[in-house]
């Protein structure tokens, strides 16, 4: 089963809007938030608590879909929802080319 992993950089409410939009797509098998404490920390900073390291947060979600068509729909809806809220979105993960 294909998997899509995406990251949203912005506010928690933007991320929640993207999750809600993905949940609304028929035939999506699984939607799961992935916690990673170090995900939002820049590599070039000497301190994890610098003000520009914590100004926005990065949230990651993994979505399982039954086929390529549903996967493309997930990508479209996630991009549209994040874009409408002016948040950054990035599709990542080892399975992104399976879709």
**H or E stretch including 29?**
none
pLDDT value at residue 49? 52
**84 belongs to a structural domain:** yes
User: With b meaning 16 or more CB within 10 Å and e meaning fewer, what string describes 39-78?
Assistant: ebbeeeeeeeeeeeeeeeebbbbbbbbeeeebbebbbebb
- Is residue 77 situated within a structural domain? yes
Are 85 and 21 in contact by the 8 Å Cβ rule? The answer is no
Q: Is residue 45 part of a domain?
A: no
Q: What is the CATH number of the domain that holds 55?
A: 3.30.70.260
pLDDT per residue rounded down to tens, the chain (99 residues) = 899 999 999 999 999 999 999 999 999 999 999 986 555 455 555 555 554 555 679 999 999 999 999 999 999 999 999 999 999 999 996 554 454
Domain count, the chain: 1
> Which residues are CB-neighbours of 64 under 8 A, at least 6 positions away?
1, 2, 3, 4, 28, 29, 30
Which pLDDT value is given to residue 35? 84
Q: Is residue 10 part of a domain?
A: yes
pLDDT at position 51 is 46
Domain containing residue 82: 3-40+50-98
């Amino acid at each position: 089963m294909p998997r899509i992993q995406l990251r949203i950089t912005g506010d928690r409410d933007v991320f929640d809007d993207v999750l809600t939009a993905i949940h609304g797509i028929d035939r999506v098998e699984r939607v799961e938030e992935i916690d990673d404490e170090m995900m939002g920390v820049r590599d070039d900073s000497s301190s994890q608590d610098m003000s520009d390291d914590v100004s926005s947060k990065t949230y990651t979600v993994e979505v399982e879909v039954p086929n390529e068509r549903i996967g493309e729909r997930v990508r479209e809806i996630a991009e549209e929802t994040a874009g409408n809220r002016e948040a950054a979105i990035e599709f990542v993960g080892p399975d992104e080319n399976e879709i």
